[in-house]
Structure formats: C-alpha cells, structure tokens
Structure 1
Amino acid sequence: MTGRPQTDDSLVMGIDPGLTRCGLSVVRAGQGRSVVPVAVGVVRTPADEALPLRLRRLSDAVESWMDDYRPDVVAIERVFERGNVSTVMNTAHAVGVLMLSAARRDLPVHQYTPSEVKKAVSGNGRADKRQMTNMITRILGLSEPPKPADAADALALAVCHCWRSPFSTLVSERKSSL
C-alpha cells in the first residue's frame, strides 16, 4: 500500500472490528507520546439482518468516516480464535470489508493483537476492559470514559499504533540496511 508517510500530526484511524458493534476512532499523533482524540463512535448492524446487508452497512459507515476524516493509516485488531467459530467467522468477514475500504483509499493497514494493544496502552498484556477504558480515558484526557467498550477499544488501537509505529519503522529500516 502506498498512503502518506506517517509523521507527527498524522491521523490514525483505529478500528475494533465487529459485525454487531464496530468501534471507530480517529486520533492525531503528536510529538513523542502525545495523542489527541479527534472522533470516536460505534457502528451497529441489526443481528436479524442478512450477512451481506450487514457487511454493506459496515462498509458504508467506515468509508464515510474515511472520507470525512481522511486518515493517513488504519490500525485494526487482528482476528483471533475466541472459542466460538461463528463469532470468529463474522468478525473475519467484517475485517475483510474494513481492510478493503482502506485499500480502496490506498491507506496502509496495521494489525495488532489484543495483547499487543493492552501491553502498549496499559503495560499489562492481560489488562481487562475496565483497566483499558480507564487508561485510554487518562491517556487522552477525556472528561468521561468512552462507551461502549468497542469505542474505547478503537481508541486504544489507534494509540497503540501511534506509540508502536515509530519503533516498528525504525526496526524495519535497520533490517533493510543490513
């Protein structure tokens, strides 16, 4: 993917993928560890609606956010096995649609596991939802915790990318120069 190079002042879109509830956020990466929230929300699709229609609703909403906020990069949660195959499959369908939406705009997509996000944001790869919501509220200086948890998770993904991306870029550059 091409996209614009990430710099201080980049807009990062965080996405907590889900078919019933999909958390969306946009943050502005500042110097060092400074991150400023721009927008946060949740897209919902009706559970009784056919899968193709739900995916279209999700795609339409995410593409509208991408058009409105024009992020430089997308950070999305990596799908992992949660024990319920149908839940994993629905989430995987949603991730595919979300990544396609980014690809249509030539936006780079970075995936992070839940434990990577938890470790980056809280210092504990096993932090629970309450701890993560408290940390993201404090980090971003929010007056109240984002709700539902999917919104807080989307913000955490964006913050994780802001904090991890400079290090990942440095490692990649060093590997390519060897």
Structure 2
Amino acid sequence: MRILGIDPGSRVTGYGVIDSDGRSSRHVASGCIRLGAGELPPRLGRIFTEVGDLVAEYAPQALAVEKVFMAKNAASALVLGHARGAAMTACVQAGLEVFEYAPRAVKLAVVGSGAADKAQVQHMMRMLLGLTRAPAADAADALAVALCHAHTHSTRSAVSRVAR
C-alpha cells in the first residue's frame, strides 16, 4: 500500500510517502511545502494545489494525517484546522481514503513514547526507513503518521481476518 502522510501547518506542511505491507516499509519521498507568511487564504490554496500535485505524482491509496490538538492557543488550532482541511480536501477530491491519528498515538507507534520530541521522531524515521540522514522535522512527522497508519492498518486487517 502506498501511503501519503501529512503534517499540516499554515507556514510549513510536511509530507511523506511510503510503500508498506504492514511489516516492512520503504521511503518513497518526503519534504516540506514552505508557505511563509502572508494572508491565510492564498497559503491554503497552495496547500490544496501542492498536495493535489503530490497525489497525482505518487498515486497513494490512502492519506494519513495528524488530528488537531488543542494546546494553549485556540486561534492557532483553528488555523491548523484550516491547513488540515485544505490538504484533506485535495486528497478526498482525488478519491483517497483519509485516516486521522492523534499526535501522541503517532509518536507512541514510531518511537515508543507518546511524549517523544521532534529529534527523536527524526532519528526513528532515519532508522526505520533506512535514510542516510534525518529528514526535516515536518517531513519526519509526516513520515511518522504514514508509518503509524501502515502499522495500524496492518494490525486491524489481521484482527479482522482472525475474527471471521
């Protein structure tokens, strides 16, 4: 299965594409859509367009994206929700199934601790995917959510087969 992972952000949106059979995964591509400052609507338009371009180029079967979490600033969470919506809409329009994961669940799945920091996630993406260097923080987070989905989907499929 080819999975597109997205770490949404209104200034930097990370992406990661992996191929996975649930047991082993291979890095296909990763990077960041750097949006910078400026008015929000044009940045959301770029997220929509560039995520759509990624879907067209890499032809994933699923989108895995981090859920919005409420930290201290409600306005920031709202803007993050807009960025997620732009990315998700591009994928849904292309016919992808969308799967959402809490940030703590992603970190727990790939690092073993829901409180892992960005450097730990970067290190684990390098190790788990056999990369020559650690990806940028936002790209690593996107790869991590894609890997979380690969593992979760594999486990759910196995449980479903046993339950029959």
TM-score range normalised by the length of the shorter chain: over 0.9
TM-score if structure 1 supplies the norm length?
0.87
1:115-153 deviation per Cα after TM superposition (whole angstroms, max 9, x unaligned): 111111011111111111111110001110001x10110
Residue 155 of structure 1: which of 116, 119, 143 is its match?
A: 143
Aligned equivalent of 1:41, options 26, 31, 38: 31
- The equivalent of 2:93 in structure 1 is 104
Deviation string for 1:60-100 (max 9, x for gaps)? 11000000001000000000102112211110001111111
Equivalent position SS for 2:17: strand
C-alpha spacing 1:173/1:78, structure 2 compared with 1 (3 Å): farther
* Other structure's SS at 1:15 match: strand
Letter of the 1:34 counterpart: S
SS in 2 for 1:71: coil
Distance in structure 1 (CA, Å) of the matches to 2:159 and 2:90: 28
Which of 152, 156, 160 matches 1:164? Answer: 152
Once the two structures are TM-superposed, the CA of residue 18 in structure 1 deviates from its matched residue by: 0.5
Measure, in 2, the Cα distance between the counterparts of 1:88 and 1:153: 17
Partner SS, residue 65 of structure 1: helix
> In the alignment, what sits opposite 1:71?
60
What SS class does the counterpart of residue 25 from structure 1 fall into?
Answer: strand
Read off the aligned partner of 1:22 and give its amino acid letter: T
The residue type equivalent to 2:4 in the other structure is M
Contact 2:12–2:36 (8 Å) recurs in 1: no
Aligned sequence identity (%): 39
**Structure 2: stretches of 5+ with no match in the other structure:** none
| Native 8 Å contact 2:2 2:20 kept in 1 | yes
Distance 1:87 1:80 in 2: 10
Q: Structure 1 CA distance, aligned partners of 2:31 and 2:13? A: 8
Structure 2 CA distance, aligned partners of 1:21 and 1:168?
A: 31
Structure 1: 4+ residue segments shifted above 3 A? 169-175
Q: CA deviation at 1:160?
A: 0.8
Contact 2:11–2:34 (CA under 8 A) maintained in structure 1 = yes
TM-score, normalised with respect to structure 2: 0.94
SS state at 1:13 partner: strand
User: Which residue of 1 is the match for residue 20 of structure 2?
Assistant: 29
